[in-house]
Amino acid sequence: MKSHRKELWFEVPQRRGFLNITSRIEAALQESGISEGLCLVNAMHITASVFINDDEPGLHADYERWLEELAPHEPLGLYKHNRTGEDNGDAHCKRQIMGREVVVAVTEGQLDFGTWEQIFYGEFDGKRRKRVLIKIIGE
């Protein structure tokens, strides 16, 4: 069995944002030379997420609204975590909701997606550099 590891780095200029990273994952898969296996993609920071869904702007706006309703950024005093001097208690909650990682099957050298599925990086406390790990295993 072979394995391939790659890191992607992101610096989202806003506090929150969603980036379609599917093409970067596909490029890493091609670099790996693996045609049958599994591809793990995970955010390596506790205020960021990796998830799979449709690349549709209305859906992303819905996520933004829904996440802010579930875990509003303000008032900052809402979160005990912010008593440490941070202002990102909400970002930790949003990451928990959206998830840390995805695993996608690799079949015949391609990511084996369902209809409309794409991989996204979700940023909930941006304006600094963060990384995503890609780990591909198989034959």
Provide the domain limits for residue 27. 2-138
> Taking the model in full, what pTM does it have?
0.96
Question: How many domains, in total, are found in the chain?
Answer: 1
115-128 pLDDT tens trace: 999 999 999 999 99
CATH assignment at residue 101: 2.60.120.460
Q: In this structure, are residues 129 and 9 in contact, taking their beta carbons and an 8 Å threshold?
A: yes
Name the pLDDT band for 111 (thresholds 50, 70, 90).
Answer: very high
50-77 pLDDT tens trace: 999 999 999 999 999 999 999 999 999 9
Name the pLDDT band for 46 (thresholds 50, 70, 90).
Answer: very high
DSSP 15: S
pLDDT at 77: 96
pLDDT at 68: 98
Q: In this structure, are residues 44 and 131 in contact, taking their beta carbons and an 8 Å threshold?
A: yes
Cβ neighbours for 50, distance < 8 A, ≥ 6 positions apart:
21, 41, 42, 43, 99, 100, 101, 102, 119, 120, 121, 122, 132
